Structure 1
């Protein structure tokens, strides 16, 4: 089995809490992550949206674009609205040979609102969840038909946050909407990561290896503190620096034959957690657990085929 290692630029620049950002260029961000051993980077706000500009930057850095977030609103808005908004991203991702677009639901979400406590997260009724799951399946099938698969990101403070919500979403959706497994978000929500892999492995096409600091999470007052408060307090970190057993998580994925990207996505304060140092810690830990699980880690970076 082969594994590819990527990072998210959220370690360098946070899109929701701009104050948690280093004043570094895209080129420097890519240089640091590549020097730590990562061959991929997900898209962030400082990436150009023109493939003619992006491709030379990726080629020079020897890095592949390994994904990127799309703020979906299918819980509330029409399919056509979301198709119109995602089409330029599909065109871009196809041009640079990215593996998938990460679908994150922001409709009704409080993930980006620091004034909304975690306890006020949106909840869908059974009928709403069924209808939502069907819409996502249809949308995922349409995107795949355009040549770019999606990967559905369950997320803290969104309509699919907890393990039961994820189970219900997966039960009522179809194979047309693959799953992004995010270990950190599921653990933060009180879920069992290994159990989720057992139940949903057939649909997993992308993995975020986000670690958590459970002492920070346990200390939160969810009736008063928000998701962004948790981020600022250091709830997330890289593998090897947190509470999760990534040896067990990676082994379970290997048992089911997962073959693809493992992406470190750990939003932190770069002043307290220097991104290059954290990238090096995460890469070292992932190399250890991936090798133990029988993976061969690919070292080629930039590629168009």
Structure 2
């Protein structure tokens, strides 16, 4: 039974990108493989909740964000928003009400902004595109309120500026204002502070937390930084090769991880490791495997050799560890 407080619900979400075959593959009729970017993800986000997606580059975090914002079409599963099935909805006109309620903050603010548009035009563009204002007076008021909410005060001083005239933190705040101006109910923030200085990061994060508190805004926060997720999120979902391998409260995931991959992520982060324990650092080695040839089983933990053969035969289910804490590992206790 779906929770009525959940504004977003992903059920067995799957995204597969086909690989382009070579000349002889077509002649010889060889099957073309595919990249399993998302492989059966179940996830919920409640109103007023901040959920963080954590994992290495290539784990599928951004793809989930693009599916939620309807920039990528899923190949399987369901996307439910406020109880409505949005999985198969396509087209600008059909998605106009949805885009009014769901917005995305992109990682690179400079690339997200048109260098030929002023700050006013950049923030006003969603309002004009979705036809949410009736006249210029209301347009100016909405843009001014959004810039002020994002921490750019007085907002009128930024109306005529271009992106190259702003600092990195100011550009990121303009992108945040562009997402807020339509008054969404859910924001997908894809690494919104990864390119900023530490002091500016704190300001942007505090802005997002304040907006959540004032507007009961739901936030899906995508990051590779576990301490950052611990700081801002209510719950953390850890992704590995397109799957959510562990999910729970921010404290449970950071201080009491049960999946070997989550333990490895924590141990690779000195400030978290020092809080949890002071054992030897067990760093992750090599790159994340290719999503086109997903290996079965894992070798993150010394005891994994005991369960490795079982993993090769069957994917481990999400085992309940505690209240709202689940881990997809045969060794989870």
Would you say same fold, with TM above 0.5?
A: no
TM range (shorter): 0.3 to 0.5
TM, length-normalised to structure 1: 0.37
Higher CA-based Rg: 2
**Per chain length, whose mean CA-contact separation is higher, i.e. which structure has more relative contact order (CA < 8 Å, sep 6+)?**
1
